[in-house]
Amino acid sequence: MELGKYNRARVEEIMPQGYYLELETGGRVLLPGKREEFSLEEGEVLDVFVYMDSEDRPIATLDKPYATVGEFAVLEVKDVNRYGAFLDWGLNKDLFLPFKQQLGELRRGDRCVVYILEDDKSNRIVATEKIKSFLDTNTSELHLGQPPTRSPATTSTSSSITATRVASWSRRTRRASTLATRCPVTSSDSPKTVRLR
């Protein structure tokens, strides 16, 4: 079972609470939902995203997160409490960004550049703003006009492209969010829209 990533799975059993899936990488996980929602049959093979639910149990979803474990993303802060920030990553359960992994104070509506990883101690999927150690700054293999790939964490050339821009993105998104909270906003303006160059 690969947490925070897409897994190939086969429908093993259909129950009132959803579908029990047998994962190709090993393990069994629930895909919650009613028959009329997905209309899957026993033996059917599909790709699902596996993450931890609010009770720290592995769970499958057909929803697609904005990024997976091992990838960078610019995500919006949905809430902040005494433990850290919670980021919208496209799933029902928000992505946790602990205080110790933040570079500065975050508020609801801020956008931040993060790297998504599985925490070694808790086995939970978390985010970190401390991304420097995950960037490959070797640009020797880059050439003009080279297209970026979807997963910069796994491709050294894409990580190098990200390394030159990602720090300024974080500063700009946070600065834009701070300005938006201090300046009056007209109906045509959107404080959550941040233009990056």
pLDDT on residue 54 = 82
* Domain count across the chain: 2
pLDDT of residue 156: 33
Residue 197 within a domain: no
CATH of the domain at 136: 2.40.50.140
Residues 117, 34: one domain? no
- Where are the extended beta strands (E) located within 18-169? 18-23, 28-32, 45-52, 58-61, 72-80, 84-88, 95-98, 111-118, 125-128
**Model pLDDT, residue 150:** 55
Closest CA to 11 of 26, 25, 30: 30
Contact 69, 30 (CB under 8 A): no
Residue 191 in any domain: the answer is no
67 within a domain of the structure (yes/no): no
Tell whether 106 and 13 lie within a shared domain. no
Residues 56 and 80 in one domain: no
- The pLDDT score that the predictor gives to residue 149 is 63
d(CA 93, CA 185): 30
Of 78, 146, 132, nearest to 101 by C-alpha is: 132
Do 60 and 27 meet the contact criterion of CB atoms below 8 Å apart? no
For the entire predicted model, the pTM comes to 0.70
Query: What pLDDT is stored for residue 164 in this prediction?
Result: 40
Same domain (yes/no): 44, 132: no
Looking at residue 108, what is its pLDDT?
96
Structural domain including 23 reads 5-61
Which residue, of 61, 82, 97, is where some domain finishes?
Answer: 61
pLDDT profile of the chain (197 residues), mean per 10: 94 92 94 81 94 89 95 96 96 94 95 94 92 86 79 37 45 46 37 34
Residue 54, in any domain of the structure:
yes
- Say if residue 52 is in the same domain as residue 123: no
Is residue 66 included in any domain, yes or no?
A: no
pLDDT at 33: 85
76 and 172 both lie in a single domain: yes
Examine residue 117 and state whether it is found in any structural domain, yes or no.
yes
Q: Which amino acid is at 46?
A: L
